[in-house]
Structure formats: C-alpha cells, structure tokens
Amino acid sequence: MTGSRVKRKGLMWGGLAALLSLAACDLFMPVEPVLTPRVRPAGLAPPPPAPVVQATSEQSAALRSYLSQVQSSQLTAGLLRQDGGGPDTPFTADMLARNFEQIVFFNEYASAGARAGSASALRRWSEPVRIGIRFGPSVPPSQRTRDTNDVIAYARRLATVTGHPVSVSSNPNFLVFFVSEDDRAATLNAGAPALAGVNRTNIAAVRDLPQDAYCAVAAYAGGAQQSTYTAAVAVIRSENPDLLRLSCIHEELAQGLGLANDSPGARPSIFNDDDEFALLTDHDEHLLAMLYDTRLSPGVSLEQARPVIRILAREATQGPL
C-alpha cells in the first residue's frame, strides 16, 4: 500500500479569484573581423529543436500578473528575505530541537490514515534522490533554463547539507513540474505516473492545486517501510515570478526530503507560513542535517528520537559535545 505526504505553499493575499476572471559601456572593435560561417561545418550534430511554446490563456496571464503584484508587495513589506537569517533571528539548541520535532514528526495535512495535527514517525529517503525536471508546453525557453539551473544548484546544496545523495538525473524518482494553469493537469497526468507507486489518483492533491497555492509537493512511500520515501512529485506554478518560483524550489524540494510540516514558531525558516524568508536558511540547513544524521532512522517515533534530537541540536548550535 502506498502512503503519501502532501505539503502546499500558499498565497497570503486575497483577491485572486476576482483577478483570475480578468482578462554605457565602452565599445571595442575587434582587431580582425569575425565572420559567421555561412555553411554549417560537416560532422556536427544538428541543434536540438526549440520547444514549442503554447500560448497562455487570459486566466493564466491574470494569475501571472497577480503573483507579480504579490511578490512586489511582500518585498515592500520586508518579506521574502534571502539573507538566511542574522543577528535579528537568533535561535538556541532548545528552539532548534523544538522546531525539528514540529516540522519532522507532525502532520499539517491528513494523509495515509494520519489526521492533520497528529504525530507520526520520522520519514525520509534511504535510496539516492534523483530529481527530474519537467515543463508544461506554455513555459518559455528562458524560464526553463533559469529554473533548470536553479534546481541543479539547489540539489547540490541539499546533497552537501544532508550528506545524502541528491542530484538531477535522467532516471528520476522525484519529479519537479513547472506548469501553468493551462497545462498543469495534462502534464502531470502524462508524466507523474512514470514514477513507481504514483498514479493519476494519488497525485490529485498536487495536480488540482487550490487557487491560493503557489506550489505543492507529495512524497510517497511505496515499499514495505511506510516511513521510507520512494517517490515524490513537486508542482510549481510557472506563473510565479522569479523569486517566488525559486522560493518554491527551496521549500518543496526540502519538504519532499522529509521536512513535511510548517511551524509558526520556526524562525529563521522557510518552514513557516509567514513568508518572511524566501530561501533556505542556516536554521533550515541544521534541520536537514539532523534529519539525515545516521543516529536517527526512518520509522523512529518522537519519544524514541527525542534524546538524540537534543544531542543533535546542541551539536548544531555549539559544536560536538
């Protein structure tokens, strides 16, 4: 039986439904002229075909405009910080341990027989995480390039922080979809079932995004151990402007590794619905390192893990004991 965990990053601003209804530098001359070849040299492979970009609907265009306004408003309000935290956001070992417990062991959404707000076992990956990147036909080439580079860079960071293999791969078990309102359902229905244990039914929570969500992730445990993830699907609205898309990459991929909950007390952290921070913080790197520490294992309960969590939190903030 396949278990799953779903997490969504939501909009904190109203009015989306109404808006969705609306339609000197110095110049140097080269010493010698540079000539562009008129004939393609023999033996070169043909260039890859450019992706066919699908025109967007009025609904998608309105959503893109609205989300740009959201990002601008949040930046003006001092939100979406990219500094990772600083002197204004100190945290102690006790705070780190408390935040780890809330984010790792509790359920924000009901799933796999667990009710929302209930405690569960520690969940994470055992096998290497292999990320595949997929785009809906409405996503333009320049945006595809940026998003691909952002995912590749972030995967490297996650691997470094956790000590667990995380990479972009042509043989994925974790698919990240950048899709618009126009092509989300069709792209996910066609692509997500390529993962073992994923089908059109159990991707509904991320495929059918509510209007107030930027992005979402679902992680699946398709093996005998229901606390060991074997597949994941992240969905990011392509209408998000650049920083919001990057914030979705940071949050959804990290949550797909096992930091599945949010906590209003977590600071500085992206695992907090207040949107103060856009990108993974130093505090969050500690959470990921603790999650994949060999002194913890998938399936361990909070009561069993608590003594180890205290040790790991003290080591993270004070160094090895």
The per-residue pLDDT for 22 is: 40
Sheet holding 129-135, edge to edge: 3-10, 213-221, 231-237, 174-179, 129-135, 166-168
pLDDT at res. 212: 87
What is the widest separation between alpha-carbon atoms in the chain? 74
Sketch the domain layout of the chain as residue ranges. Answer: 80-318
Distances 199 to 172, 204, 232, 317 between C-alpha atoms, Å: 15, 9, 12, 42
Averaged pLDDT in 10-residue chunks for the chain of 321 residues:
59 45 41 46 61 82 96 97 95 97 83 61 98 97 98 98 98 98 97 97 95 94 93 98 98 97 96 96 98 98 97 90 56
Q: What is the pLDDT of residue 55?
A: 76
Query: Which pLDDT value is given to residue 119?
Result: 82
Kindly give, in sequence order, each residue whose CB lies less than 8 Å from that of residue 126, ignoring residues fewer than 6 positions away: 225, 228, 298
- Whole-model pTM? 0.84
> Which residues have C-beta within 8 Å of that of residue 93, sequence separation ≥ 6?
310, 313, 314, 316, 317, 318
3-class secondary-structure state, position 132: strand
pLDDT value at position 321? 56
80-318: which CATH number, 3.40.390, 1.20.1410, 3.40.50, 1.10.1740? 3.40.390
**Nearest-angstrom CA–CA distance, 173 and 175:** 6
